Structure 1
Amino acid sequence: MTWLEMLAVLAAGIAAGGINTIVGSGTLITFPVLLAFGLPPVTANVSNTIGLVPGSISGVIGYRRELAGQRARLLTLGSASLLGGITGAVLLLTLPADAFKAIVPVLIIAALILVMVQPRLARWVKQRREGDGGPAPEHGGPILLAAVYATGIYGGYFGAAQGVLLIGLLGVFVHEDMQRLNGVKNVLALIVNAVSAVIFIVVADVDWTAVALIAVGSIIGGQLGATVGRRMSPTVLRAVIVVVGTIAVIRLLAS
């Protein structure tokens, strides 16, 4: 890469780190940039995933205040993300490159619908549980656990808008403040990206220059994203999620 190309990858890493912390979908910035500079698709995807891990850590640290008191929830849902991430990474390395591409826009659209109707759905789920006379499960119940596992598979395979899917699901099944759920989303996405990255480092071709540039950029972006995201109201945060997710769908369909 030339110096200008390296600068562009660094800038893309900053943007992706910030967007991932606030919403998700940062991959839709860095992945096309790596492709534009000549990296093969699988190598670009692998290098991008590894490079974004430090940014995910940065975002989690930035949201550490919102994570207080959620240890049991993180352990339960995190185990589902861990298994899902392993499954998705293995699929990426064994299936044809286009195997998952057709359903990615559908998954993102489903996530956006979840985010938009989340307050109404959350009220309905809460009423049903109160009618049954039992407290809401700390981790959101078995349906959420299965959905988080499925999202982990998707995240390990490609990962764009993984955060949109997670925040939509969490908002429906867990009765909690939106910012606290965003903190949980960041941890779950980190688990998926980290376990995928370990597998990729061992068995896949990696462009370490791209990894280093994205890593540095995403660390900066993660801290910026945490600062901005924490100040957003739930309504504004949902609006940002919908806008970013819609752009993601358009870009995927146009590619």
Structure 2
Amino acid sequence: MSPFEVVLLFSAGFLSSAVNAVAGGGTFLTFGAMSLIGIPPISANATSSVTQFPGYVTSTLAYWSDIKTFWRSALWLAAISAVGAVIGSLILLALDNPSFRVMVPWLLLGATTLFAAGPWLKPKPREGGEPVSSATGTIAQFVTSIYGGFFGAGMGVMMLASLGLTQAGDYHRLNALKNLLATVIAAIAIVIFVGGGVVAWLPAMIMIPGGAMGGYAGVWIAKRVPQIAVRIFVIATGIFLAIYYFWTA
């Protein structure tokens, strides 16, 4: 691996966590950096799950005081998320790289559109106590978790939107639940991807320290850089990657 590739991957890890702290969408950067240095798309997708996982864990811990108030009622959605993540991850492993590569630009366009619509999809505060598990909520979370296990970009926005429609509680309660379920989905996906031998460990080890630094720097960025500027950067990255995959398909 050349010095340029090392710098690119480390920078992607750093920026990924930084933009996640401000606006989300960091998966575009890690997936894109690995794609640009020639890592096959299935491996790049799986490795992005590994690099994003520490951020999911720390985000969940940050909301731990909230999660403790409803963890029993969240267990059902966590179990549904685990099953969906297994299905999505196994579907990914069942594909070969050429087949997945054809799907990637469309997935990127969909995820970019979802991310761009994020501000309009944020749930409004709702009255009520603990999150409730309805049939609609179960189905929505199951579908979201399949997508998350298969291709994680945009999963957080999708999940927050569906939880806002199906679960009780204010924004912070819903965001806490989203972080918890995202951690479950990512953990299951990583276990399956590691077992399938598709994780590129050297790039992951380069990006993870950058991500740790980026998560801390994200707080500084959030105070000084307008969120709209970060969102435009992430959307532009998603569009660029989609065009790149359409062009090279």
| TM-score, normalized by the shorter chain, greater than 0.5 | yes
Paired with 2:91 and 2:190, the residues of 1 have a C-alpha distance of: 14
Q: CA deviation at 1:177?
A: 2.2
Paired with 2:56 and 2:69, the residues of 1 have a C-alpha distance of: 20
Answer whether contact 1:118 1:172 (CA < 8 A) is retained.
no
Q: TM-score, normalised by structure 1?
A: 0.76
Q: CA deviation at 1:103?
A: 5.4
Paired with 2:237 and 2:166, the residues of 1 have a C-alpha distance of: 24
* Residues 181 and 30 of structure 1, relative CA distance in 2, 3 Å threshold: same
Give the aligned residue type for 1:15.
L
Paired with 2:14 and 2:183, the residues of 1 have a C-alpha distance of: 16
Aligned residues: 238
* Residues 6 and 253 of structure 1, relative CA distance in 2, 3 Å threshold: closer
Q: Secondary structure at the match of 2:25?
A: coil
Paired with 1:191 and 1:227, the residues of 2 have a C-alpha distance of: 28
Deviations 1:107-142 (A, max 9, x none): 66467657516557x77xx8xxxxxxxx78733522
Q: CA deviation at 1:54?
A: 2.0
- Aligned counterparts, 1:5-24, within 5 A: 5-20=5-20, 23-24=23-24
Give the aligned residue type for 2:38.
G
* Residues 48 and 145 of structure 1, relative CA distance in 2, 3 Å threshold: same
Q: TM-score, normalised by structure 2?
A: 0.78
Query: Could you tell me which of 95, 106, 109 is aligned with 1:105?
Result: 109
Q: CA deviation at 1:23?
A: 4.9
Match of 2:26 in 1: 26
Give the aligned residue type for 2:16.
A
Match of 2:239 in 1: 250
Q: CA deviation at 1:183?
A: 2.0
Answer whether contact 2:78 2:181 (CA < 8 A) is retained.
yes
- Aligned counterparts, 1:44-55, within 5 A: 44-55=44-55
Q: CA deviation at 1:192?
A: 1.1
* Residues 153 and 2 of structure 1, relative CA distance in 2, 3 Å threshold: same
Query: Could you tell me which of 175, 186, 191 is aligned with 1:182?
Result: 175
Paired with 1:158 and 1:211, the residues of 2 have a C-alpha distance of: 17
Deviations 1:185-225 (A, max 9, x none): 12211111111110111112322111112222333444555
Paired with 1:240 and 1:77, the residues of 2 have a C-alpha distance of: 34
Paired with 1:203 and 1:44, the residues of 2 have a C-alpha distance of: 14
Once the two structures are aligned, what percentage of the paired residues are identical? 26
* Residues 150 and 47 of structure 1, relative CA distance in 2, 3 Å threshold: same
Q: Secondary structure at the match of 1:151?
A: helix
Q: Secondary structure at the match of 1:139?
A: coil
Answer whether contact 1:35 1:41 (CA < 8 A) is retained.
yes
* Residues 182 and 136 of structure 1, relative CA distance in 2, 3 Å threshold: closer
Match of 1:219 in 2: 212
Answer whether contact 2:18 2:217 (CA < 8 A) is retained.
yes
* Residues 3 and 65 of structure 1, relative CA distance in 2, 3 Å threshold: farther
Question: Which deviates further from its counterpart, 109-118 or 65-74?
Answer: 109-118
Structure 1: gaps (5+ residues)? 127-134
* Residues 192 and 248 of structure 1, relative CA distance in 2, 3 Å threshold: farther
Paired with 2:240 and 2:179, the residues of 1 have a C-alpha distance of: 23
Paired with 1:222 and 1:57, the residues of 2 have a C-alpha distance of: 12
Q: CA deviation at 1:98?
A: 4.4
- 1:3 equivalent to 2:7? Answer no
What's the RMSD between the two structures over aligned residues?
Answer: 3.3
